[in-house]
Structure 1
Amino acid sequence: MPRTAPSEFDEKDKHEEEAHNADFARTIPCNKVSISAPFHWLSLGLHDFVRMPLISGFYGVCFMAAAVGIVLLLQWQGTHLVVMPALIVYMLIGPFLALGLYDASWEREKGHKPRLLHSMKAIGRNSTSQWAFAVLLTVCMIFWMRIAALLHVLYPSVQGAPVIEFLPFLLIGSLVGFLLASFVFSISAFSMPLMMERRVDMMSAVFTSFNAVRSNLPAMIVWATLICGGVLVGFATFGVGMLVTMPILGYGTWHAYHEIIRKKHHD
């Protein structure tokens, strides 16, 4: 039988389906920034911190409470074996707490007055993608913990062993930890603000974040170093430093996202 020509509605449905597929798991283009850009993000974060003391204080206390809980857990357990799980849990909590900081900076950019309650609702703005991302981070956490458990085979079994016997454990453990931490940082650097602002799917956010970090590697290495420094200061001060460092870094991340990820009309 001869084939009939597709109808106008069939063509329309086909185009809509292609557009939908193109929007899923896509990589949003990014801009290139200089290696000094992270210090500009940090200064903008400090400016937001000063302008929004109530919101900054609230989320600073949340970060501080999480850090204090981890320190107390380490002291209670009295073993280094819980360090890795505790830090990974903190890595899971951090991005979701930071959503409120992103929302506050976003409101200021739009000329609105940031409100604490409004910022707390940011976690539900794209809940499906955000919780899918949480599952992805949890899988990464479980994998990381399993690798860490396997690496303990290299740990000396004799108490008071010479330092040289610790080198295989320390070197291989540090290398694996660095690689996994770099991967997690790459997929999460801009995922959460992107899912919150544009409500994209989780895979689009992950691909876009990874591409943006890869395309701006020198600047992102500096930014990752500043983040690690802020976290270390917080833990070194028994969580008190988190009152200042984490809100500033959260606001700074929003400004980094807006400078690197291209706006909608450039997609």
Structure 2
Amino acid sequence: MPRTVNTTDFHKKKEVRDNEYARTIPSNQLSVSAPLHWLALGLHDFIRMPLISAFYGLCFTAAAVAIVQLVQWQGTHLVVLPSLVVYMLIGPFLALGLYDAAWEREKGRSASLLHSMKAIGRNSTSQWAFTIILVVAMIFWMRIAALLHALYPSVQGAPLSEFAPFLIVGSLVGLVIASLIFAISAFSIPLMMERRVDVMTAVFTSFNAVKSNIPAMIVWAMIICGGVLVGFASFGLGMLFTMPILGYATWHGYHETVKSSRQT
């Protein structure tokens, strides 16, 4: 049943009907070390499901290698951000297969590659709506980045002090936008897949979970950034390992963070 969305949706934790639109599902309180436990579980899944891990690892690797090659071919840093935008849009859909595999193992079933691939189409309406949200956010980020280039020194070989306004303002703006995108996407995709909720419920719930567990989420964000950096620093080959492990870990993190229907 649709209802009016207001700013208190990110703060309220009340019991609601399962079919209510744009609700906020309560979250559990996490210890700051919780993401390390998720990572350990993700590594365990990676070892136990080598075929599925290898398939999705290769998909992530192929995308990363394509980005690295594109940057080298173009010879300019201007293609980096658009390329990363495309990677961030492809990533969540590939991760759906990893979430499904981890979910199947949680239920005591044998995970299969075919079943995980079918999960990509589960609750596709909400998933595409979320993709549109990400696209709009990324376009906004790119436009802001283009405007900030006005602060870039116009003289080659300018001293570091002249780069300071560009670096400081650009870093702060990037941090704010990246934090917002992380907050709304941390647990949105697995929530939409498992419970088939609408996109706004997924976004509100993810934002609330991150806001309620900031120390743990900072650790989790650093782990994700570290995994992605290792992947790109190894010319994409590291993605064979880091991305499947992070995908499985995200599923376990979602289950530990967002309260189940039996807990609400």
| Matching residue within 21, 25, 29 for 2:22 | 25
Name the aligned partner's letter for residue 262 of structure 2: H
The answer to whether residue 72 in structure 2 is matched with residue 106 in structure 1 is no
The answer to whether residue 64 in structure 2 is matched with residue 59 in structure 1 is no
| Matching residue within 211, 217, 224 for 1:220 | 217
- Displacement, 1:17? 7.8
- Displacement, 1:155? 0.8
CA distance in 1, matches of 2:158, 2:86: 31
Matches within 5 A, 1:151-166: 151-166=148-163
- Displacement, 1:173? 0.6
Q: Under a length normalisation based on structure 2, what TM-score does the superposition of the two structures give?
A: 0.93
Q: Under a length normalisation based on structure 1, what TM-score does the superposition of the two structures give?
A: 0.92
The alignment of Structure 1 onto Structure 2 pairs a total of residues equal to 252
Secondary structure of the structure 1 residue equivalent to 2:109: coil
CA distance in 1, matches of 2:155, 2:77: 16
Deviations 1:54-98 (A, max 9, x none): 000000001111111110111011111111111122111111110
| Matching residue within 191, 195, 212 for 2:188 | 191
Contact 2:126 2:192 in 1 (8 A): yes
Q: Which residue of 2 aligns with 1:13?
A: none
Q: Which residue of 2 aligns with 1:90?
A: 87
Deviations 1:83-124 (A, max 9, x none): 111112211111111000000000001111101011011111
CA distance in 2, matches of 1:105, 1:196: 12
Name the aligned partner's letter for residue 166 of structure 1: F
Q: Which residue of 1 aligns with 2:77?
A: 80
Q: Which residue of 2 aligns with 1:264?
A: 261
CA distance in 2, matches of 1:242, 1:115: 21
CA distance in 2, matches of 1:210, 1:89: 23
The answer to whether residue 202 in structure 2 is matched with residue 210 in structure 1 is no
Contact 2:2 2:22 in 1 (8 A): no
Q: Which residue of 1 aligns with 2:119?
A: 122
The answer to whether residue 67 in structure 2 is matched with residue 70 in structure 1 is yes
- Displacement, 1:266? 2.0
Q: Which residue of 2 aligns with 1:145?
A: 142
Name the aligned partner's letter for residue 66 of structure 1: A
- Displacement, 1:164? 1.2
CA distance in 1, matches of 2:26, 2:2: 22
CA distance in 2, matches of 1:246, 1:20: 35
Name the aligned partner's letter for residue 201 of structure 2: S
CA distance in 2, matches of 1:170, 1:44: 38
Name the aligned partner's letter for residue 231 of structure 2: G
Poorly superposed stretches of 4+, deviation over 3 Å: 16-22
Contact 2:95 2:247 in 1 (8 A): yes
The answer to whether residue 142 in structure 2 is matched with residue 171 in structure 1 is no
Contact 2:2 2:20 in 1 (8 A): no
The answer to whether residue 197 in structure 2 is matched with residue 200 in structure 1 is yes
CA distance in 2, matches of 1:52, 1:21: 33
Q: Which residue of 2 aligns with 1:134?
A: 131
CA distance in 2, matches of 1:162, 1:37: 43
Q: Which residue of 1 aligns with 2:12?
A: none
Amino-acid identity (%): 73
Deviations 1:11-70 (A, max 9, x none): xxxxx7888897100000110010011110000000000000000000000111111111
Q: Which has the higher helix share?
A: 1
CA distance in 1, matches of 2:19, 2:114: 35
Secondary structure of the structure 1 residue equivalent to 2:262: helix
Secondary structure of the structure 2 residue equivalent to 1:23: coil
Cα 1:41–1:17 change in 2 (3 A) is: closer
Q: Which residue of 2 aligns with 1:11?
A: none
- For the pair shown, the structure with the greater C-alpha radius of gyration is 1
